[in-house]
Amino acid sequence: MKFRSLLFATAFLAAGAPPAPGQTLDEVIAAPVLRANVTVSGDIVRIGDVIDNAGPAAQIGIYRAPDLGTTGKLPTAQIIAALRAHQVIGVETRDIREVTITRLSRNLESKDLENQVAQALEHRNGLGDAANLSLTFDREVPSLQLDASNNGALQPVSTRFDPRSGRFDVTFSIANESGAATRLRFTGMAIETVEAAVLARGIERNEVLKSSDVIIERRPKAEVGNDVASRDHTVGMQARRQLRLGQALRTSDLAKPDLVQRDQAVTLIYESSGLYLTIRGKALEGGTEGDVVNVLNLQSKRTVSGVVVGRGQVAVSAPSPKLPADIAAPDKLSQAAAPVAVASNQAASVSRKAE
């Protein structure tokens, strides 16, 4: 043991590292000790990676590191032979038979890269939120493994988008501990999409939509425009026209369902203060709630207009009588009658006195 330490000390001193003031020789010549597990961040395995107390030989490279993110093993005898080639002797192996070497890396998942591109394009040249962007890349975006020294954030340094063609070109920079930044470039097509209510089957004109008739899909915003209908505003509505399977619905395609159909038997309702009358009628046209429709009064055979207030129900109101222009209103008549009555009473009183 002393002989091996002496050999190492000779090599150490020969490398030009004299003892510092106050250091003992034993502190200077501490024996190198082999490590069982080694992690490296670069592409070279150095002496200082595989042993403790490597001294000035620590930065000497002896092996190529495993591939990024992988692990390899080296027999102890092979490592000792490589160390001796660089005059590093007297290594304590501690009965280690092989050394495990792992190369660190930085993993960038493909989904994360796609999200970063979408974030860079968000609200650029008319595009909407990143969550609503559908991206198609010119090349498949694989998951990447970078050297662990690339520890900076992805910073977009160039972002271009052409709204006419839909093409994008985005370049990111990743800071590196060595000072040389890594660049990543992505190109492709970007389309803004929106959630749309889509028909699961063909719908005829005036047909009322059921829940099973509508599914939700993301469609290009340019296809449906700003008039896109949501699911909550489609179920229970009536189609204004014939609609095809797979069609994305717009609010202009739908209307409130008709509560009264043409030629349908309806109930005419007349309601006033203290009075409620109903009579049978026949609708001459269809209408939804609030629409004014014509109805044939089956009793009088006269056509009347009313407001649709419910399914098969039309409310009508009695016409307000118009007084001739030469007839004063009731309140004016009462005011005019008062002085006439006074004059009549005075005449009667004079006549009784004369008698």
Quick one: pLDDT at residue 15? Answer: 44
Quick one: pLDDT at residue 319? Answer: 60
Task: Note down pLDDT in tens along the chain; length 355 residues.
Answer: 443 444 444 444 444 445 555 555 444 568 899 999 999 988 899 999 999 999 999 999 999 999 999 999 999 999 999 999 999 999 999 999 999 999 999 999 999 999 999 999 999 998 999 999 999 999 999 999 998 888 889 999 999 999 999 999 999 999 988 778 899 999 999 999 999 999 999 999 989 899 999 999 999 988 888 888 888 889 989 999 999 999 999 999 998 888 888 899 999 998 887 788 889 999 999 888 888 999 999 988 899 999 999 888 999 986 655 555 554 445 443 443 344 333 344 434 433 433 3
List, by residue range, all CATH 2.30.30.760 domains of the chain: 265-316
List, by residue range, all CATH 3.90.1210 domains of the chain: 198-253
Note whether 106 and 145 are within 8 A (CB).
yes
Check whether domain 2-103 has CATH 3.40.1130, yes or no: no
Quick one: pLDDT at residue 169? Answer: 97
Q: What is the CATH number of domain 265-316?
A: 2.30.30.760
For every residue of 46-71, DSSP letters joined together read EHHHHEES-GGGTT-EEEEPPSTT-E
List, by residue range, all CATH 2.60.480 domains of the chain: 2-103
Quick one: pLDDT at residue 197? Answer: 93
Quick one: pLDDT at residue 246? Answer: 93
Quick one: pLDDT at residue 79? Answer: 94
Note whether 246 and 224 are within 8 A (CB).
no
Say whether 297 sits in a helix, a strand or coil: strand
Say whether 210 sits in a helix, a strand or coil: coil
This prediction's pTM: 0.60
Quick one: pLDDT at residue 353? Answer: 38
CA distance 281 to 106: 79
For 84, what's the count of Cα atoms within 13 Å in the CB-facing half-sphere?
8
Q: What is the domain class of 198-253 according to CATH?
A: alpha beta
CA distance 36 to 25: 27
